[in-house]
Amino acid sequence: MAEISVSSSSLYLSGNQSPQSDGSQLPAPVTILRPTTRPKSDIPESSNARYDGSSGGERENGVFFMQAPAKIRSCDVYIGLRGRKPAVVRFVNWLRAELELQGVSCIVTDRARCRDAEQHRMAELAMGAATIGAVVITKKSFSNPFSIEEMRYFLGKKNFVPIFFGLDSKDCLVRDVIERRGEIWERDGGELWVSYGGVEREWKEAVDGLSHVSGQLKIEANPWNWRDCITEAVFLLGMRLGRRFVTERVRRWKERVEKDELPFPRNTHFIGRKRELFELELMLFGDVEEGGDENQTFELKTSSSSRRRRRKCKGKMEVEEKKKKKEMEELRWKESREEIEMEGGEGLSLPKGKKKSSSMYGKGIACVSGNSGLGKTELLLEFAYKFSQRYRLVLWIDGETRYLSQNYMNLLSLLDVDLTAENELCPERDKPRTFMEMEHEALRRVRKEMMRDIPFLIVIDNLEDERDWWDGKNVMEFLPRFGGETHIIISTRLPRILNIENLKLSYLSSAEALSLMKGRMEDLPVEEVLILSAMEERLGRITLGLALVGVILSELSITPTKLLDSINSTPLRNIKWSGKEDPVLRRNPFFLQLLDFCFSVFDPLATRMVLASGWFAPSRIWIQLLTLAASEIKEDESHNRTRLWNKCLHLFTRCWFKPNETRSEEEASSMLLRFKFARETSKRGFIHIHEIFRLYARKRGGVEAAEAMVRAVASRGSIPRDSMHIWAACFLLFKFGTDPSIVELKVTELVSFIKQLALPLAVLTYTAFFRFNAAKELLHLSTEALRAAEEKIETGLERSLCWGDLNHPKTQLNLKTYQELALLNATLLETRVELMMRGGVFDVAERLCRTAISIRQCLIELSALPISAPYRVSALPSSALCLSSVLDRALRLTELYALPSSTLCLSSVLDRALRLTELCALSELSA
């Protein structure tokens, strides 16, 4: 008999018997009470408790704990089920967690696994207390007496919501089940009430009642509509419970997902990669859901290696279940505020021998590796679209090392994580948290959202390094724990990453490559097919190069022979490549000639758009911004280009554009999309350029294209729309780390860029995304850049004041620029003061505040010079107002922290600032 122990805060269901090694007897999945405070010894903080029918959950010593309503007698939804298949367990866990996330209390139970009368009594008590009863109906439910009883009970109360899992409501007819009609009941049908000694009348009454349930209350789930099914269930249950806020939240979430989930539309011309998709499914789920693509599975059976892998994964599931508990003990996580690491043996290192190929199946993480241009992004995008219904949300993250942390923190809005209400004081030490502590807390909150029983799919595309570029964090610190409901897919060019086995992406087969290269052309002669095969070998079988060939043949309507002759006649540019750059461009001259040929065919505006894109961030680009940057680049009028263009005009059988025709940005972007140099994004008016094309454009465009990009961002950039590209412009302007500054702007342009973009970007970075180190570095480099520009102006200004006419327009312009620069410098210092005060670095904040006040005092003294009023700093109304706002912020921060040391340090500074404010006001009055 199980012992029931009840406390004021929580209720546990505990069994004294030791768990069986074969997993045949599992703790009864009866959901009890939600504790107001979790016991530290039994309940892990990082994950929600869940129903785990496959292994009995993560409970120890026979204790089974699940989150549930505050009182069992005030339950909103009762969910009954039968079976412990991984798919059913995953679906029920998701539904329960989704309901609890929306504030709906629910209880999940499989009464067939209750071990004693007390557990059965508690389950029946929950049934009677529930406002709505939902039963997950599978084929096994019709031979389960408890499922039949639950259906009859809730049908009688008229609060029944059936959830058909793997079945259609039209298949659940009494006559079809008894007479074994249809493919479904041919093996599992018959007089099922006999199997458990039930009454025929009661069984028929329950099954026949399913057909009388209103169609609006029926929910039918299959492997390809889980998300829609659970969303519909939550919406329906919230509506029946009268919870309007639940329905509104579900409606807003659906609207947001439709807009912001995946970055690109689905590739309707996706070719091949069936085996790789099947491998990814096994790595993440560990099993293949029923109702999938049967043709795909049949084709994979022809491979002996695939048969062996499937036998290891499915034919030996019992062995895997026995090993699962031991593996989970070996993979112990150690988590602290400073580091997150995985312990046990060699961490994630794989065993040797044949076990290595199947050791990562079902772990929830997969890594796809391969050279550039093989189609890693296309494979991940196809998998995300194909299996998106099995996840609440697909979180797509660009893995470029400079933008990884920012892309990760962009998930805050998608996950509805609100960090603005976090207390900045550390309760243990009674002082502000440090920058590292606040950044760690933000990462922990995001990871915690992804470690619920709600499944997410995290896709990290093109991961360049295991460590973050900014502070050296390991990418493991961004990821949730392996083995949970959230799955992770990573694509990288590195041979090995995170010490896990990679799925190495191979080349397309000859038939698939030929289909990709032919494009829309059909019935090619044998000689032309041989030419395509030769081009395939010269391109190194790169999927991107094959797709380019197919697009050119389709768009220009030329034969493969003429295309090959044109590519061979294209001169190879003398470009120097370093050893760290992409080997596809370094070792494949024929591919470079193909790119040059495409540039010769492009409209001049389209060519310059590609050249400018090389210096943008690796994210979607606003077409108008890219066009503006392209207009800053001079058109290439070299003799070789003209000669090649004239030669191509004679080769093309259909000249559908004129060489000197000026085209609009829509036509130029459309040309890039047709030739696969750019791809359409999910957001209208934006395009994305492939990384290989961007790297080639950086080499070919040079510094001129970089300057054009920075000027375009400075003039038309918007932080909500182009924040990543503003960061890219900052990387070109300022000296981050050991990287040199590539672009140098005029002083007026630099002041405008920092004032309009860099400063607001830094403020947004630490206020909205809690990236304090990045914001601090950006503010520091902006200050250094202004100081360097200030020295240049001071040199010329001193000559003008000593030897020139003070009323000369040039002298007045230089003085005005100097005053604007100094004011901006003071504003930057004041922003850094606020940032340092927020992180508790009061000594640095005091020093910066003194410097800012000194700068403003110098400006007040400079305003006394006999210069016309429009150029006086005292005539600028913002001078005193800016200083007053800084003083107000400093006083508020001082009152907030109320620390004696900070108050003493800042008191003299504040007094001096107040005196300067009075002087500034007097100067304005005298003017």
Is 585 in contact with 591 (CB distance < 8 Å)?
yes
For the segment 382-438, what is each residue's pLDDT rounded down to a tens digit? 999 999 999 999 999 999 999 999 999 999 888 888 776 554 545 555 677 888 888
Do you know the residue count of the chain?
927
State yes or no: pLDDT of 42 exceeds 60: no
In the predicted model, what is the mean pLDDT of residues 445-468?
92
In the predicted model, what is the mean pLDDT of residues 206-216?
87
Q: Show Cβ contacts of residue 155 under 8 Å, excluding neighbours closer than 6 positions.
A: 206, 209, 213
Structure tokens at 101: 């996330």
DSSP track, 601-660: HS-HHHHHHHHHHTTS-SS-EEHHHHHHHHHTSPP---HHHHHHHHHHHHH-S---S-TT
DSSP track, 440-508: HHHHHHHHHHTTSSS-EEEEEES---SB-TTT--BGGGGSPPTTSS-EEEEEESSS-BTTB--EE--PP
pLDDT of residue 861: 67
Is 590 in contact with 654 (CB distance < 8 Å)?
no
Q: Which of 492-506, 740-754, 785-799, 830-844 has the lowest mean pLDDT?
A: 785-799
According to DSSP, the β-strands at 11-14 and 63-64 are antiparallel
345 vs 525, residue with greater confidence: 525
**CA 857 – CA 861 distance, rounded (Å):** 6
Q: How confident is the model at residue 818 (pLDDT cuts 50, 70, 90)?
A: confident
**CA 166 – CA 368 distance, rounded (Å):** 31
Is 182 in contact with 176 (CB distance < 8 Å)?
yes
Q: Which of 39-53, 195-209, 445-459, 619-633 has the lowest mean pLDDT?
A: 39-53
Largest CA distance in the chain: 112
CATH number belonging to domain 26-252: 3.40.50.10140
In the predicted model, what is the mean pLDDT of residues 23-51?
35
Which secondary structure element, helix H or strand E, spans residue 393, and what is its range?
Answer: strand 393-398
Of the segments 422-436, 606-620, 879-893, which one has the largest average pLDDT value? 606-620
**CA 853 – CA 910 distance, rounded (Å):** 9
**CA 78 – CA 64 distance, rounded (Å):** 18
**CA 446 – CA 449 distance, rounded (Å):** 5
DSSP 8-state assignment for residue 108: E
pLDDT of residue 596: 93
Q: How confident is the model at residue 94 (pLDDT cuts 50, 70, 90)?
A: very high
Is 116 in contact with 30 (CB distance < 8 Å)?
no
For the segment 363-375, what is each residue's pLDDT rounded down to a tens digit? 889 999 999 999 9
Measured from the Cβ of residue 490, the count of other Cβ atoms closer than 10 Å reads 26
Nearest Cα neighbor of 629 from 689, 684, 577, 558 is: 689
Percent of the chain with pLDDT over 90: 43
Q: Tokens 């041979």, residue?
A: 495
Q: How confident is the model at residue 739 (pLDDT cuts 50, 70, 90)?
A: confident
Alpha helices in 214-293 (DSSP H): 226-240, 244-260, 274-285
Query: DSSP 3-state assignment of 808?
Result: coil
Q: How far from chain centre, in Å, is Cα 523?
A: 43
State yes or no: pLDDT of 301 exceeds 90: no
Q: How confident is the model at residue 289 (pLDDT cuts 50, 70, 90)?
A: low
**CA 67 – CA 842 distance, rounded (Å):** 44
Strand partners, 332: 343
What pTM value is reported for the model?
Answer: 0.80
pLDDT of residue 419: 72
pLDDT of residue 719: 94
**CA 743 – CA 807 distance, rounded (Å):** 33
